[in-house]
Amino acid sequence: MRSEQEIFDELASLCASPGYAHAVAYLCSRDNMIRYSGEMTAEDMQHLFSKSRLIRTETSTLIGLMLKSPIDYTLPAPPVLEKYIESTEALLEEIHHAMSASFWQDIDPAKIAEEGFNPFTSGAALREPIFYGGESAYSFQYRDFSPAKYANDDPWLIANRGFSIHDARNVVFAISRLQDEKSISVMHSMRGTSQETWTFLPGNRR
């Protein structure tokens, strides 16, 4: 098994590839958008719980690595873009296995039954559960519960920042609606066009 640093370095190099932003845009769309017709059902959301879906920390890692170098927005040919996506998923999976291995390397099977045994006393054991831990809420729940959560901070926000928590919530809501509209528009624009021109990136740009 390769070291985690070796895999991470290869992922960083991949994220600096020309046109990689289009791969990130595709992954963000695939793993976060809910497509449905009429009334949304539980089945429409099922893909959000797939093991193949990238979680927020993984996506944030890709974006962070991409931002470390000047971004080339050239649209790659479909085979190149497909290779970017496949390599990204393979490297992230390899990193997960490497990180999981570090969880077990310091655990002595002979000591598991001993009183007071605690495998979570080392940083190596904590990294994997923290990075891959489930998200505590959907993004819209953070948004819509914020007025109640930060109600007591409203006077300070208004006096020192010039906006209320309701104002902040409304701005986030407007941005999310705009994002939805742009993403839907981009998908509609792909109909009847050559696959060589397909990209989800315009739905994620200002």
- Report the C-alpha dihedral over residues 37, 183, 25, 143, rounded to 10 degrees: -90
Q: What's the rounded Cα separation, in Å, for the pair 134 and 154?
A: 30
Count CB-CB contacts under 10 A for residue 98. Answer: 18
Return the pLDDT at 33.
Answer: 80
DSSP designation for 36: -
pLDDT in tens, 138-156: 888 999 999 999 999 999 9
R_g of the chain, CA atoms, integer Å: 21
Average pLDDT across the chain, whole number: 88
Asked if residues 44 and 35 have their Cβ atoms less than 8 Å apart, the reply is: yes
Mean pLDDT throughout 95-108? Answer: 77
Q: Tell me: the pLDDT tens digits for 36-76? A: 788 888 887 777 777 788 999 999 999 999 999 999 999 99
- Across 46-55, 107-116, 158-167, the highest mean pLDDT is recorded for 158-167
What pLDDT does 192 receive?
87
pTM above 0.85, yes or no: no
**Is-contact 26 81, C-beta < 8 A?**
yes
Q: Rounded to an integer, what distance in angstroms lies between the CA atom of residue 26 and that of residue 17?
A: 15
pLDDT at residue 110 greater than cutoff 70: no
Average of pLDDT values for 72-83? 96
In which region does residue 168 sit, left (phi positive, over 0), alpha (psi from -120 to 50) or beta (all else)? alpha
Q: Looking at the chain, list the stretches that DSSP marks H as alpha helix, in order from N- to C-terminal side.
A: 4-15, 20-32, 42-45, 56-66, 78-105, 123-131, 139-149, 154-161, 165-189
